[in-house]
Amino acid sequence: MSEPDGSEGDGAVRVDPGVEVPCPAEGELWTVGAVILNERDEAFAQKRGPHRRLFPGTWDVVGGHVEAGESLLEALAREVEEETGWRLRRVRRLLRVTQWVGDDGGALRHEADFLVEVDGDLSRPALEWSKNSAYHWFGPGEIHRLKENCAPGNHLVHDLIAQVVA
């Protein structure tokens, strides 16, 4: 893992001191996730469409696959903008690094999930409606809904958001 310097250049994403960013090994498949909070400390999640190849109909955080030649933070910024229209401003904390195999039978994936801050109108995410069917801001009393349509024991998104809003 590497530790960014926390500096902030023109248009650069600020990374808080002490935040370690994993360095993928060659040949590993990585994904990134962003837990975004609003002013009420509720976490944003979007519901994957029923026809998605991976985890159809489940709630998910903003994020996706790291493309060839991208760093994890570059992928995180790209995914936030593509999936919501917001711009990644600050990485506050690395929440976890996990490994998982999707319900598509694909290869092992590594995932780095971060607590972040974004710029933009949080009341109006520009969702990719061809991929998602809904969005919601989840507070402590609602996080149980993040288990909807999940296989038993597969509560990664619920557990991730619960550690931030519970």
In this structure, what are the phi and psi dihedrals at residue 156, rounded to the nearest 5 degrees? -60, -45
Q: Return d(Cα 65, Cα 70) in angstroms, integer.
A: 10
Which tens digit of pLDDT belongs to each residue from 78-115? 999 999 999 999 999 999 999 988 766 678 899 999 99
Question: Per residue in 10-22, pLDDT tens?
Answer: 468 999 999 999 9
Continuous segment of H or E residues that includes residue 161? helix 156-165
How far apart (Å, rounded) are the C-alpha atoms in residues 67 and 159?
Answer: 26
The pLDDT assigned to 44 comes to 98
What is the secondary structure of 101-130 as a DSSP string? --TT----EEEEEEEEEEES-TTS----TT
Cα angle, residue 164 at apex, residues 159 and 165 outer, rounded to 5°: 95
What average pLDDT does this structure show over 58-68?
95
Stretch 55-73: mean pLDDT, rounded? 94
Query: What is the structure's pLDDT at 1?
Result: 58
pLDDT tens digits, 33-51: 999 999 999 999 999 999 9
pLDDT value for 152? 80
CB 161 within 8 A of CB 146: yes
Rounded Cα distance, 113 and 125, in Å: 20
Mean pLDDT of 125-139: 95
Residue 148 DSSP class: T
- Identify whether the C-beta of residue 35 lies closer than 8 Å to the C-beta of residue 17: no
DSSP string, 73-100: HHHHHHHHHHHHS-EEEEEEEEEEEEEE
pLDDT, position 23 = 93
Average pLDDT, the chain: 90
- Mean pLDDT in residue range 140-161: 91
Model pTM score: 0.90
Task: Please say if the pLDDT value at position 8 is more than 50.
Answer: no
